[in-house]
Amino acid sequence: MRRRRSGEKGAHSPGRSMSGMTDCLFCRIVAGEIPATVVADTDGVLAFRDIDPKAPHHILVIPKAHYTNAADMAAAEPMLAGEVLAAAGRIAESEGFAADGYRLMFNTGGHGGQEVFHAHLHVLAGKPLGPMLAV
Ligand code: AMP
Ligand code: ZN
């Protein structure tokens, strides 16, 4: 099944500057305009290593289509939200931390600590992370 791309019906447009480039950092990574260390790439989903890792393994899994946050993505395209989660599970297996365990996290909005407003799933692993991250 063909997946929607940014800018098509159903996906929110991140907006484009005078130069024609999107002002969304993660859309620019999807477009190949900004480099990233990619660990998984499917029709609908891209996963790459976080540039400032908060754990020994820190990978971001994103929909290629632009949604501001995880709730918007899930409301508009529940199958795509499932793909993001399934990709995280496959990455945990392929990176070798599935058995030890890992944390999945969607920061949402200002109080949630979201800094990049393109939905992304944090996959954190590689050491005991404790019962909860600092609040
Ligand atoms: P959040 O605070 O949930 O919006 O998380 C945004 C994440 O994106 C942070 O963990 C950043 O370290 C990460 N990040 C920012 N710029 C890049 C980049 N160019 N490549 C990879 N990860 C990035
Ligand atoms: Zn975007």
pTM value is 0.89
- What rounded mean pLDDT belongs to the chain? 89
The per-residue DSSP string of the chain comes to -PPP-TTSTTSPP--B-TTS-BS-HHHHHHTTSS---EEEE-SSEEEEE-SS-SSSEEEEEEESS--SSHHHHHHH-HHHHHHHHHHHHHHHHHHT-TTT-EEEE---TTTTT--S-S--EEEEESS---SS---
CA of 52 to the centre of ligand 1 (A): 7
> Nearest residue CA, atom 19 of ligand 1?
51
Kindly state the average pLDDT of the residues 32-46. 98
CA of 39 to the centre of ligand 2 (A): 19
Taking 60 as the threshold, does the pLDDT of residue 20 lie above it?
no
Minimum-distance ligand to the CA of 124?
A: 1
Minimum-distance ligand to the CA of 35?
A: 1
Taking 80 as the threshold, does the pLDDT of residue 134 lie above it?
no
Q: Which residues line ligand 1 (CB under 6 A)?
A: 25, 34, 36, 48, 50-52, 60, 107, 113-116
What pLDDT score does 4 carry?
A: 42
> Nearest residue CA, atom 17 of ligand 1?
51
From 28, 68, 116, 117, give the residue whose CB has the most ligand 1 atoms within 8 Å, as the site to mutate. 116
Kindly state the average pLDDT of the residues 84-93. 98
Q: Which atom of ligand 1 is nearest to the CA of 105?
A: 3
Taking 70 as the threshold, does the pLDDT of residue 108 lie above it?
yes
* pLDDT range class, residue 22, cuts 50, 70, 90: confident
What pLDDT score does 3 carry?
A: 42
Closest by CA to 58, choosing from 135, 121, 131, is: 121
